[in-house]
Structure 1
Amino acid sequence: MLGGAEQGTKVVLLTGSMGAAARRQALLDLVTGEAGIVIGTHALIEDKVQFHDLGLVVVDEQHRFGVEQRDALRSKGKQPPHLLVMTATPIPRTVAMTVFGDLETSVLDQLPSGRSPIASHVVPAKDKPHFLARAWERVREEVAAGHQAYVVCPRIGDEEDEPRAAKEKSAEDEAEKRPPLAVVDVTEQLVKGPLRDLRVEVLHGRMQPEAKDEVMRRFAAGEVDVLVATTVIEVGVNVPNATAMVIMDADRFGVSQLHQLRGRVGRGSAAGLCLLVTDMPEGSPARARLGAVAATLDGFELSRIDLEQRREGDVLGQAQSGVRSSLRVLAVIDDEEVIAAAREEAAAIVAADPELAGYPQLRTALDALLDKERAEFLDKG
């Protein structure tokens, strides 16, 4: 599908916000094979998108795609294409599938060139209000040193639902009853209070695309000191001069989100600082989770923490996390050695006898476990 070195390879972009003419041309390039590489958003999953001969699917920020979405991409090939998924924090299901041997992993455990370490700290705002006051002082210190900062909030400020992470933990005994902090409210408080003489701007997903682009342009150009935003900055934002991040109501976010968010700082020569603000009491599961996030920058270690707290989900079904698990006598975290040994034994048996003709009882047990729907879903995963 790729052209020779002398003719090059055509690269095409496909997103949901493209104009009609550009979109038609991109779709034509895909279906005719004129495009050797296509880069796109979830728009690539739409039914009308067809490929001439899809051979490789690379999914970045894997935690933002569900099992069905990844399978929808793979199904667009004449033959099942190769699949490469990339993430800084593997979701619990993926960790479980990795242990079971359905995914091979390559680990990049070094910071990219030019990156600096990120110091993370939990700020118990309710227990120790002066800690939050100090957090705003640190933001001012970074700005005074010529740097910039992010302030992240869970919601925009209207009546939209709480973020996914808040719903996941709504059953926790210590969960707060108040709504999560909002961008518009926090911005008003900051510009009238601790950051009143700084250049503060707002960014969220309900702004018009042109307005969002203009805010990000000004922030990247150094014309904005502090950007108060929702998780729209979680990926795809690269401002090396931004060195500090304050995440409000950090307990409302998942482990993967927190790790992705703090990756927006420390992208230049200056060290990064991430402050996780919470009202949750000491000793609560939420505080323990935040403490674990603050203690490591290792995405795989964070995925283990996430897995311990959320479980692996149903590895044979759609539940990607939670108490519903198809495992009855094993725990992915505690029994890795047993699972690894079983995987080797299973691989040897299947290699020698793919139909399990010599193992009728095993064949019967598998048929009972893997109904058609579960077997198909396992292939999708």
Structure 2
Amino acid sequence: MAIHSLSTPIEYLKGVGPQRGDVLKKELSVFTYQDLINYYPFRYIDRTRFYKIRELTPDLPAVQVLGRLVSKEIIGEKQSRRLLARLRDDTGVIELVWFQGVRWVEKMLQPNAVFIVFGKPNEFNGKISIPHPELELYNPNLKKQGNPTLQPVYNSTEKLKQFSLDTKGIQKIQAAVLDAVINEIEETLPEYILQKFKLIGRREAIRYIHFPPDAGSLQAAVGRLKFEELFFIQLKLLKNKLLRTQKFKGLVFDKVGDKFNTFYKDKLPFDLTNAQKRVLKEIRLDTQRGVQMNRLLQGDVGSGKTVVALMCMLLAIDNGCQACIMAPTEILAQQHFMSIKNMVGDGFATIALLTGSTLKKERKVIHEQLANGTLNILVGTHALIEDSVQFSNLGLAVVDEQHRFGVEQRAKLWKKNSIPPHVLVMTATPIPRTLSMTLYGDLDVSVIDELPAGRKPIKTIHLFESQRLRMFGFMKQEIALGRQVYIVYPLIKESEKLDLLYLEAGIETISREFPLPDYRISIVHGKLKPSEKDFEMQRFIKGETQIMVATTVIEVGVNVPNASVMIIENSERFGLSQLHQLRGRVGRGAEQSYCILMSGNKLSKEAKIRLETMVKTNDGFEISEIDLQLRGPGDIEGTRQSGVLDLKLADLTHDQEILQEARSEVIRIFETDPNLSSDENRLLKQYFNKKERSISLHNIS
């Protein structure tokens, strides 16, 4: 007899074989018995109850009904022939329809007999019917009738269905795999955790997630597996954090010197907010401990993250180190370079910009200055991580909008010094707390939750297409006051599928409404060459043009304090986080700024919630929580490539309580048993070591 284990290749399972094995690998990434067991149902058909006929609606899944057959007839000829039967219960009558196997089914249908009917309700000509239902004669003397279970439903694909691997086919092979290896499934959580959180065993949970005998068993299985999923994510993140503090020594910034103090006293363009002061204090403490700092700095658009980053870089310089800031786009890198230069002035510190466009001659000078230590701050894009870029003593690496960089890219930056540099990652995309705990659980998090003094909250207005003239009038009013306006479109060219006001048509309308020589317009989109884009941006920044018509390329990295109006066309097509980012391009000066959300008259329920949220609040964290509820974590920027959020069951929107419990338990365990060396944590250590093939990249935030 063949011996099967969880690591057995899937083709050896009874009922699979080489061909089905191939399609399971290609379509579902199911390579082994373990992979199949981990392929969970996405919903269940409830056969534990009978529905009344009056409860049936077309949006219900397959249901069970108990009723008496009152009539049957065959209608139509040849191809259009069908069998129509009527079933009655004490609440109404429903039609049952068959288009195939008509003669055979008709013989089964005994008038006046009571049947258990199972199928998906449909609506046709205003009437509810069930096409091709399963039938079973009801016998009141039998205790168990029908199929009184919760039946699992699995996602399938057209390719899988060609190999009879629809839901029923997958159910069969799941039953086969569980029969073969159920006793191989080992417990991963210690007994004390199971008891503390009232969790069922892993073997039981796996059986019940696929074939629950009742709703209570299913609930227990889902609760157990969700806890386990979130628990081991937290164990991995917090273990890596612990390893980093033990393993990665950090440079000690033990003095606040000339650069920091002079900047603070003489050059700071505005008073720091309490939030900025708090964050600087947290960073100061981090950099004195002799352990590599790994801190995430969250702050809304315009909250003053760059000033904080600059002051940290000056701290590094005061302690004999160099600093760098890496941004995802050339525009953003240039923006950082210019604002840092403007803030520190000439002769205060040596600063250079390195991007893909940097000329070979300039590059050579930068490389030399970096290597001999005369260059203090390097600002740049991915160009910073090239092997040819060698620092003399890199003490602080700042990564902006870090979700746009892959883990390996960031890793190269950390290796630029023999003692890993302190790391500050910044994001202007507010991250919901649950997501932050899961994605960045191994980082210390700082939040700037105040806007600089003198900044007025942006007023947001939602207008429909029919109110366009009002919008044009408002633009003219603001331009007459000497202000500038952004107009953002979702597309460049007309799309047959999307009826959007595309940019090219928009430019024509705006050019007619705002003619030369009274008005000048800049046009920026992704299809322009970088030099053309830069030229148009610069014209707007210098105030030579009053209107910038653009696609979302201006979402990040344009800072024009004089721009006071942001108009977003087809705003219903944008996600909340993108709308919030775009709105943050205005409101950077002392004047009142506005964001106008233009939309069509027909809005989906979700689009309505998004636009109402934008009008109601400027708080990025509140917006991010609503965004998480609307979209789910998989669609939030940056989570796909993180590799952490490969959640099979847990849902960060609804399982916050489980996440908090799991995280708190992991923290408690590491406080008392940091190396998981006690007997009671032996299981955790075994499972953790098995899962962790390598931690070479896990020291990176």
Shorter-normalised TM range: 0.7 to 0.9
The offset of 1:181, in angstroms, is 4.3
Q: Quick check: 1:260 aligned with 2:575?
A: no
The answer on 1:365 being equivalent to 2:687 is yes
Change (3 A) 1:294 1:200: same
Q: What's the CA shift for 1:140?
A: 1.9
TM score, norm. by length of structure 1: 0.79
**How far 1:273 moved relative to its partner?**
0.9
1:19 match: 359
Secondary structure at the residue paired with 1:2? helix
Partner of 1:163: none
Give the match's secondary structure for 1:202: strand
Q: Secondary structure at the match of 2:459?
A: strand
Find the aligned partners of 2:375 and 2:659 in 1 and give their Cα distance.
43
Find out whether 1:270 has 2:591 as its counterpart: yes
- Does residue 149 in structure 1 map to residue 489 in structure 2? no
Show structure 2 runs of 5+ residues with no match. 1-315, 321-346
Return 5+ residue gaps in structure 1 as ranges.
160-175
Corresponding residue for 1:244? 565
The whole-number CA distance in structure 2 between the counterparts of 1:268 and 1:288 is: 29
Q: Which segment is superposed worse, 271-280 or 14-23?
A: 271-280
Classify the secondary structure of the residue corresponding to 1:380.
coil
- Find the counterpart in structure 2 of residue 120 from structure 1: 460
Determine if contact 1:156/1:204 at 8 Å carries over to the other structure: yes
* Offset from partner CA, 1:14-37 (integer Å, 9 cap, x none): 111111111122123233433232
Q: Deviations over 1:142-185 (max 9, x none)?
A: 123332211012233389xxxxxxxxxxxxxxxx9226544333
Query: What do residues 37-79 of structure 1 show as CA deviations (whole Å, max 9, x unaligned)?
Result: 2111222133433333333211223344344433332343334
Secondary structure (helix, strand or coil) at the match of 2:626 reads: helix
Indicate if the aligned counterparts of 2:572 and 2:607 stay in contact, CA closer than 8 A.
Answer: yes
Kept in 2: contact 1:280–1:287 (CA 8 A):
no
State the 1:274 CA deviation.
Answer: 0.8
Residue 195 of structure 1 is matched in structure 2 by 514
Cα deviation, 1:240-291, whole Å, max 9, x if unaligned, reads 2211111122244333332222112122222111112233733432332233
Contact 1:92/1:311, CA 8 A, preserved across alignment? no
Aligned to 1:167: none
Q: Is the 8 A contact 1:149 1:225 kept in 2?
A: yes
Q: What CA deviation, in whole Å up to 9, does each residue of 1:117-146 have, x standing for no partner?
A: 211233343xxxx22332222212212333
| Structure 1 residues 102 and 109: CA distance shift in structure 2, 3 A | same
Does the CA contact (< 8 Å) of 2:434 and 2:659 recur in 1? no
Q: How does 1:86-97 map to 2 (within 5 A)?
A: 86-90=426-430, 95-97=435-437
Q: For residue 349 of structure 1, what is the aligned residue in structure 2?
A: 669
1:38-77 matches, cutoff 5 A: 38-77=378-417
Q: Is the 8 A contact 1:122 1:275 kept in 2?
A: yes
**Whole-angstrom distance in 1 between the partners of 2:598 and 2:696:** 43
* CA contact 2:390–2:416 (8 Å) conserved in 1: yes
Measured in 2, the distance between the counterparts of 1:12 and 1:201 equals 28
**Aligned in 2, Cα 1:191/1:115: closer, same or farther, shift over 3 Å?**
same
Tell me how far 1:235 sits from its aligned partner. Answer: 2.9
Question: Is contact 2:353–2:379 with CA below 8 Å preserved after alignment?
Answer: yes
Residues 2/377 of structure 1: CA separation in 2 closer, same or farther (3 Å cut): closer
State how far apart, in whole Å, the 2-side matches of 1:362 and 1:344 are: 16
Distance 1:185 1:47, change over 3 A: farther
8 Å contact from structure 2 (residues 560, 588) kept in 1? yes
Question: Matched residues in 1 for 2:500 and 2:561: separation?
Answer: 29
Query: What's the RMSD between the two structures over aligned residues?
Result: 3.5
Partner Cα distance (1:132, 1:158) in 2: 20
Aligned-partner SS, 1:55: strand
Q: Report if the CA contact (8 A) 1:318-1:377 is conserved.
A: no
Which structure would you say has the larger Rg? 2
Structure-1 residue corresponding to 2:506:
186
Moved more, 277-286 or 355-364: 277-286
Partner of 1:137: 473
Question: Using CA pairs below 8 Å that are at least 6 residues apart, which structure has the higher relative contact order?
Answer: 1
8 Å CA contact 2:397–2:423 kept in 1: the answer is yes
Task: Call closer, same or farther: CA 1:188–1:11 in 2, change over 3 Å.
Answer: same
Q: Could you tell me how far apart the structure 2 residues matched to 1:252 and 1:80 are?
A: 43
Match of 1:165 in 2: none
The whole-number CA distance in structure 2 between the counterparts of 1:265 and 1:11 is: 27
Please state how far the C-alpha of 1:310 moved relative to its aligned partner.
3.4
Taking the aligned partners of 1:88 and 1:244, their CA distance within structure 2 comes to: 20
3-state SS of the aligned residue for 1:78? Answer: coil
1:8–1:136 Cα change, 3 Å: closer
The change in CA–CA distance for 1:214 and 1:313 in structure 2 (over 3 A counts) is: closer
Equivalent-residue separation in structure 2 for 1:146 and 1:216 (angstroms)? 18
Aligned residues: 355
Q: Which residue of 1 aligns with 2:443?
A: 103
Q: 1:140 is matched by which residue type in structure 2?
A: K
**Structure 1 range deviating more: 339-348 or 87-96:** 87-96
Give identity over the alignment, percent: 44
Deviation at 1:228, TM superposition (A): 0.5
How far did 1:377 drift?
5.5
Aligned amino acid, residue 615 of structure 2: A
Question: Match for 2:422 among 64, 67, 82?
Answer: 82
Partner Cα separation in structure 2 for residue 81 and residue 361 of structure 1: 35
Superposed, which structure 2 residues align to 1:205-224 within 5 Å?
Answer: 205-224=526-545
**Residue identity opposite 2:586 in structure 1:** V
More moved, 144-153 vs 349-358: 349-358
SS of match in other structure, 1:21: helix
2:444 is paired with a residue whose SS is coil
